[in-house]
Structure 1
Amino acid sequence: MKSTAHFLLPVLACAARIAEAATAHVYTYDPHASAARGQSGRDLSPVAARLVLAQRAGVEDYHQSDLLRQEAIEAINDYGKQTPLFAKEEDRRNNAFILLEGVTDSIPFFKDNSARHSFGISPAPNSAATRGLFVDLVKQENPASASSDYEIVQHISDADRLSSSGNVFYLAKSVEDMLAMWEKFEQTGTFAITAITTPADAESSRNEGKFQWGTYEMPNKKSMLQKRQRLAPEAPLSMSNDFATSDSSEDSPLPKFQANNTTPLRGILPACFTSESACESATRNCTGHGKCGLKYHDADSLGPGGQTGLDCWSCQCTKPKSEAGKKSTVWGGPACQKKDVSVEFWLIALFTVAIIGLVSFAVGTIWEMGSQELPSVIGAGVSGPTARK
């Protein structure tokens, strides 16, 4: 029995070591954080961790598809960036992100307090997916940039090219390099710091292709949003010589954003959308009763990622054409999903008011006639007989 116990202890220790090595770690620092935060040390899923990183970078608008998850809401409340209500605009955008790859253990220097917190990411995505997410956060923060992934990696790897304000991304080369950069940002007192350490590929290779960061949106050159999913590199597919032929030569019609879906739209729709595609997707192409158009452009607003200027796209309901004098339905609402019943309303309202006025006039007239005194002649003619003497 003792020999079995002596044999199991090293095996369990080795298994715990492997599990720890396959976990990525995130360390956060908020200069304006309060003491009432979540407990550090717990592990989050890659999707919940991605939403925390996006919120701390200020680009959560590109990750809205998963923001309603209960796990994501709790994670953002516990580890998201805290900013005072009346903070300056430059303080809201001072975010520093540090990525260190190939770390097998948690950083021993880190001690939790009211401003510092940490959490794990288990199972940890592979290095290719993690670096890809880091680069995508850079693109989402600056959607106007046309730099390639390689150019972005070269830029964030050079410490001399880092900015002194705004969102700063840095790819650390070692633990000492990460600690030095952390101390530099923390001494300023204005940066919210987020450091990410990922295990080596040798430790997390078994997770490749299974546990990724999930699906999110990316800005393109036309300032519209398109879905993009960070997946692990796959082996190239070989082309087959067999080609399938289609029985129908007609082209399939393009989707109309589910405009023929007759189910009612749930919830309260916003009055403005950031892009035409977002408007068409949320309103089902204005439920087939209109089209999305640019309502106005607010140059003073702050758009996703910090760029100035914000477009307001909304549904513009089309007026139907009546055929042969037939009545046509007029549509309105944020998605052109509501019928315009103003004509019927005014007809019923005016008819009701007219009926009430007519009845009131009739009752008043009868009441006035009944309140008048009878003439004295009528009283004399109906007097009773008198006794004769």
Structure 2
Amino acid sequence: MRLVAGLAAAALSGVAAGSSSQPSSADVYIFPSSSAWQSSPGAETPRIPKEIARHILLQRTSRQRYGSDLRDIPSSIDTDAAVGHIARFGKGPTPLFTHSEKTDPAQLVVLLEGAAPEQSSRAREKLAQHAAFAISDPPSATANSNLMALFRNLGVSTSRQCDLPAAINPFDTDCWTGPSSVVKYDLRTSPTTLDSLFDSLARIDKFVTDGDLELTLVVLPESSRSSKLHHWSAAAAGAGSGSDLRRRDDSEMVISEHGDGTGASPTVKPAAASSSAPARRPKSIPQCFATLSACMAQTNSCSGHGECVNKYAVGGGNSSTAAGAGAAPAASCFVCACKASVVEGGDSSAARTQGRRTVHWGGNMCQKEDVSVQFWLFAGFTVAAVGAVSFAIGLLFGVGEEPLPGVIGAGVSRSK
């Protein structure tokens, strides 16, 4: 009998230890600036997978209208439910047929790592009316760092030197460099951050009520720090798991021109091509790259028509400032600086008559030929010609409408 009791106690303790090792859910609170979405008192908080939560955070912080590509979400998740959650908790659409000069509210995402159970309970008590949803499978601290790097690559402000009272102020130019910002704090190393958040609730409500700010707060439990989930996206976690994932297409369509001096037509080649892969929509190029190597790799060295430079560097910067290590300074934004190229005439008679010509390039990868000068010349000549013809016709009509002189009128008058 004692043996059975001992085995039962050991089994129960093993189950309890196993359940305690599983990370609890992460709570997400949203402070909306309008009544488009508000938490219903007493309503059950939905539990959402981390992949959908990632799409919601990206949609809220996107500089442009974000189009969710749900191919990186596991097939076990219902697509209609995922779209419904993104539409409900994401950034509200801009109303049509409005001419208001009021800009969209700034979007702030705050990630609080390492929340102890008592801290999570205090947050649920203080922020009950702002409870939005819970992340059922919060990933590890490594995944959070990778998510912050993704935000930086997308051009979202991710200042690491701003405390919470300064980060919630959308008019603070030291912490905000754009319409959205993402900050991350570790409650284990900075336990006073949560108290600072509670003390700043009045200021947050003021910014939110005035339509200047929308806040999304993610409270990640301490148990998730050592989670085995090292990615927020299922596509990155299961790159070799087979057909369970609807993966995002990572291929880039870049344009390069062979430097043989023959004026050959540009060739389009994918960065990661597969002859058997179906044709897919090319991936968009971000406005800023965090490092020089990322800019050169994802733009194929600006399609061979320019170079990657740091536009925030003194004097415009150049590609040699970070060559070798590929590391960028704290405030870096590597973009393509397009250069003109001289194209020689070919062997054909038509090409020989053209001779040498200078081609200007544009676009975020220098992949488009700049024809703005030709367009304005053609448009200006057309407008001038139409104006001259209209003026001449107006003069002819004006001459025809003038009355005849009196002497001519008397000579042609009928006698009685």
Name the TM-score class by shorter chain: 0.3 to 0.5
TM-score normalised per structure 1: 0.45
TM-score (norm 2): 0.43
Larger Rg over CA atoms: 1
